[in-house]
Amino acid sequence: MTWDEMQPLLQDATVETLQMVGIATLVTLLVGLPLGVLLVLTDKGGLLQNRPVNKVVGAIVNVGRSLPFVILLVALIPFTRWVVGTSIGWQAATVPLAIGAIPFYARLVETAVRGVDGGLVEAVHAMGGSTWAVVRKVLLPESLPALLSALTTTVIALIGYSATAGTVGGGGLGNLAITYGYMRFETGFMVVIVIELVLLVTLLQLVGDFLSKRLDHS
């Protein structure tokens, strides 16, 4: 296969990968961030201490993290079809990508938020600050560099998941690698896809590390 034949396929697959990872990242951030904060707030000694809620939420997160992505991908096919109307293509892959990444990111958020100085939390709370005020003015700002690093790690994991989704018709670079690189024995095509994925992950890591360091004022 020549580069002229390869280029449009590679461009379309790259766009599909970025779309599914981008949407999954947004959903993961919107759900995983409050979920991780909730795990901290409801834990023993937390501002909203509630052991039953903490145990239930923690159990759900643990189950979500323990399932291999391939199994989750297959198990969610009926739900995926109900949500987007199909079980193939990048749109369908976005559903299990988000669901698989939410518990992963929630645990990283929990770890980041637990690293905030308890004295700051107590100070704001002692001055009459509500739980929301503590979260907004202390927990999130103080843990922002760690939260950004956690998000970077999650996005990189999502890129890997998206490649896995491509092996079962999920679209993107993974599907292209299987369809052309493996099934049609286009070794050169496979090498190009691998190089692109490595460069994409490296770029994301560099940007994430740079922003995290800029936000870290400790």
What are the chain's domains?
A: 3-114+130-215 (1.10.3720.10)
Q: Render pLDDT for 57-94 as a digit per residue (tens, 0 to 9).
A: 999 999 988 888 888 888 888 998 998 888 888 888 89
Instruction: Give the pLDDT of residue 165.
Output: 82
CA atoms of 77 and 80, how far apart (whole Å): 5
CB 170 within 8 A of CB 148: no
Per-residue pLDDT band at 184 (split at 50, 70, 90): confident
Tracing tokens 């929990």 back to the chain, one arrives at 110
| Mean pLDDT of all residues in 131-139 | 86
Q: Which of 21-30, 37-46, 97-106, 175-184 has the lowest mean pLDDT?
A: 175-184
CB 184 within 8 A of CB 178: no
| Mean pLDDT of all residues in 182-186 | 71
Instruction: Give the pLDDT of residue 58.
Output: 93
Return the percentage of the chain with pLDDT > 70, whole number.
Answer: 97
Spatial neighbors of 78 by CB under 8 A, at least 6 apart, are: none
- Please choose, from the candidates 152, 160, 154, the residue with its C-alpha nearest in 3D space to the C-alpha of residue 197: 160
Best mean pLDDT range from 86-95, 96-105, 123-132, 160-169: 96-105
Per-residue pLDDT band at 105 (split at 50, 70, 90): very high
Q: Render pLDDT for 169-183 as a digit per residue (tens, 0 to 9).
A: 777 888 888 887 767
CA atoms of 67 and 197, how far apart (whole Å): 24
CA atoms of 173 and 11, how far apart (whole Å): 9
Instruction: Give the pLDDT of residue 60.
Output: 92
Q: What is the distance, to the nearest Å, from the Cα of residue 143 to the centroid of all Cα atoms in its chain?
A: 18
